[in-house]
Amino acid sequence: MSNIREYQGIKPQLGKDVLVDETAVVIGDVAIGDHASIWPTTVIRGDVNSIRIGTGTNIQDASVLHVTHKNAANPEGYPLIIGDNVTVGHRVTLHGCHVGDYCFIGMGAIIMDGAILQERVMVGAGALVTQNAQLESGYLYLGSPAKKARPLNEEELQWLEKSADNYIRFKNTYL
């Protein structure tokens, strides 16, 4: 059985030069942008709603990406939308949220349904971003539940871009 699987007639769509490790699983209504990378043992399950992953984004080892179904109380459900050049650390859970461009999600963080991370947000390792939270651009968020810790400095803002670029280079060595 393939690790890139159709679900109810909908097959994942992969852009140009995408790496999906053979131990990762991508199912259903998933679109992955050019130059993205999906690392070992990651699960991306677009079965009950859609998942969109932007260009140059990396989803690191053992992460879980899922969605919430459409229903009477929430007609759109919660799709998962991840912007361009996002770094998602090891063992992160992203569930029905929206992550803006150039964000960094630290190892083991959990981002819940309806949460919106504007562009250039850094979420620390192990943080819990609760349902419907709104994270403002240019800040570091830490803790459980995640709270605004401080503004990102210029070096950190530049690092958000460097991290995505590094993973594109790493991905290319695997391809």
Percent of the chain with pLDDT over 70: 99
107, two tokens: 């190892």
At residue 21, the pLDDT reads 98
Non-local (6+) Cβ contacts of 12 within 8 A are 4, 5, 6, 26, 27, 28, 29, 30, 31, 32, 44, 46
**pLDDT value at residue 167:** 97
Task: Report how many domains make up the chain.
Answer: 1
Task: Say whether the peptide bond before residue 12 is cis (omega within 30 degrees of 0).
Answer: no
Domain of 71: which CATH number? 2.160.10.10
Q: Does pLDDT of 164 surpass 70?
A: yes
pLDDT at 79: 98
Residue 100 belongs to what domain range?
4-173
The residue-averaged pLDDT of 40-50 equals: 98
pLDDT above 90 covers a percentage of the chain that reads 99
Which pLDDT band, with edges at 50, 70 and 90, does 36 fall under?
very high
**Cα(47)–Cα(34) distance, rounded to whole angstroms?**
22
- Residue 37 in 3-state DSSP? strand
Q: Is the pLDDT of residue 169 over 80?
A: yes
Q: What is the pLDDT of residues 64-79, one digit of tens each?
A: 999 999 999 999 999 9
125, with CB counted inside 10 A (0-12, 13-18, 19+), is middle
Cα–Cα distance measured from residue 42 to residue 26, given in angstroms and rounded to the nearest whole number? 8
Mean pLDDT within 14-29: 98
**Whole-prediction pTM:** 0.97
Q: Look up residue 142 and give its two tokens.
A: 């830490």
pLDDT tens for residues 88-110?
999 999 999 999 999 999 999 99
pLDDT at residue 136 in the model: 98
pLDDT of residue 139: 98
- Report the pLDDT value the prediction gives residue 1, as an integer from 0 to 100: 64
